[in-house]
Amino acid sequence: MTLIDHPLRYTLVNELHARPFPALSAPCVAAYIAIKAPQDPQNRDRAADRAHLLAMLDRHGSPHPQPEATHFSGMVGRSELKWESHTEFVTYSAFSPGLPVRPFDPAEMEVFPENWLAEAPGQRVASVLIRVEVMEPEESLMLAKLEDWFVPESLAVARVVEGAAVVAGDFRIDPAGQMRFAVFVRPGTGARRIGRIVQRLCEVETYRAMSMLGLIRARRLTERLNLLDPRLSALVSGLDGVTRPAEVALHELLAISAELESLAVQHSFRFGATGAYEAIVSQRIAALREERVGGRQTFGEFMMRRYDPAMRTVKSAEGRLRSMAERAMRAAELLRTRVDVERSAQNQKLLESMDRRADLALRLQHTVEGLSVVAISYYAVSLAAYVAYPLTEALHVSKGMAMAVLTPVVVLWVWLALRRIKAAVH
């Protein structure tokens, strides 16, 4: 009996190998850009991203990727192009052998033509130029180059992957609009290892930029929360007061709660993505296994001083939003309880009033019953007198005497009949 494979078995295994690291040999240059679509990920036009890639490949007569592919590698001129599609953005990497005479020459980014970039279906969030060369025999020569290439105040340098390479960067955008990194590799370092180091540097910059999008949203959110917080505090502090009706306060509180929930919905994806991107940045830096070089700060220390506070700001804004929503919910529950108690008291007073009215109605009914006995007896005595008239005339009894005798009897009979009817009804 043949065992049937799950239809996604091979797809899931192939996903593990979908984005291999590039194989690079020093010296070389890596040009990298990340383009984010302006729409939400749910509305992102992936067909436009693919069409933009095909436009690049058609310029060089390169083969096309599979229709549903999320990654591609191929040659464009003398450079190896690597394309990847992610949840919110796409990345293009171009690896060119050799080094320009001028370090970090903006011409190295011309592998991505200006008119082609202008047609991109999105906005640039990261643009990186990485110079890979063989490590200098003396560390002082390498440090002298770094002092010349980067801003010393923000320069981060580290020996990575058990001394296989030294990476450096100042995390600043140069006049040409590029973020620059330098990689000095030890002679004999494998091409795959160099590719992994370069790829991780690109990912650190990309996910750093993507995660810090949450910082801008957090600042805007904080401004809005600063306006809502006093209103919420005033409502909460006045819960036990009598100056404002509970129902009016409840309506105001529900309006604040609705706005807080709307803010939470608007920011939930961005804050969640920021947390995920922050974790990736930390993982990529940890994977470099940094060692200090010449007393300089490492990438991890740079991030701890400059990047981590931004992420804490995002987490603080997210926590504050969650806390205010919970406060508003608890206050709304207390106000609902207060409204229910007041309504119960009103209902109790209404029931007491109804009891009083029922008691008055009962008394009136008793009065009416007495009058009914009199009225019914009056007509009954008249009828009985007519019936008894032949007999009273034969006995020579006057009409007045007959009615005087019949009246107590009829009244007693009517009264007993009404009581019997009333008892039967109840």
Q: Give the domain ranges of the chain.
A: 21-191, 211-349, 369-425
pLDDT of res. 16:
80
pLDDT of res. 388:
76
Half-sphere exposure of 230 (CA within 13 A, CB side): 4
Determine the Cα–Cα distance for residues 149 and 380; give it in Å rounded to an integer. 126
Determine the Cα–Cα distance for residues 258 and 235; give it in Å rounded to an integer. 15
Distance (Å) of CA 69 to CA 42, 46, 117, 422: 18, 11, 21, 91
The answer to whether residues 84 and 73 touch, using CB atoms and an 8 Å cutoff, is: no
Distance, CA of 150 to chain centre: 39
User: Would you state the structure tokens that stand for residue 68, as one six-digit string?
Assistant: 């549903």
96 φ, ψ (degrees, to nearest 5): -120, 135
DSSP label of 36: E
Q: What is the mean pLDDT of each run of 10 residues along the chain (426 residues)?
A: 83 80 93 90 85 94 88 91 93 94 92 93 95 91 93 94 94 94 95 95 96 94 93 79 70 87 92 95 95 92 94 95 89 78 83 87 73 75 76 72 77 78 72
The answer to whether residues 91 and 202 touch, using CB atoms and an 8 Å cutoff, is: yes
β-partners of residue 71 are 84
Q: Does residue 185 sit in helix, strand or coil?
A: strand
DSSP per-residue letters across 131-146: EEEEPPSSHHHHHHHH
Question: Could you tell me the pTM of the whole model?
Answer: 0.78
pLDDT of res. 422:
72
- To the nearest 10°, the Cα dihedral for 167, 171, 177, 180? -10
pLDDT of res. 395:
72
pLDDT of res. 417:
79
- The secondary element (H helix, E strand) that includes residue 167 is strand 165-173
Determine the Cα–Cα distance for residues 252 and 231; give it in Å rounded to an integer. 9
Q: Are strands 89-97 and 123-134 parallel, antiparallel or unpaired?
A: unpaired
The answer to whether residues 183 and 166 touch, using CB atoms and an 8 Å cutoff, is: yes
The residues, ordered by sequence, that sit 6+ positions from 331 with a Cβ below 8 Å of its Cβ are 232, 235, 236, 239, 253
Angle between helices 191-237 and 246-288 (to 10 degrees): 160
pLDDT of res. 244:
66
The residues, ordered by sequence, that sit 6+ positions from 10 with a Cβ below 8 Å of its Cβ are none
pLDDT of res. 103:
92
Q: Does residue 152 sit in helix, strand or coil?
A: helix
Q: Are strands 179-185 and 165-173 parallel, antiparallel or unpaired?
A: antiparallel
**Closest listed residue to residue 133, CA positions, set 29, 237, 281:** 29
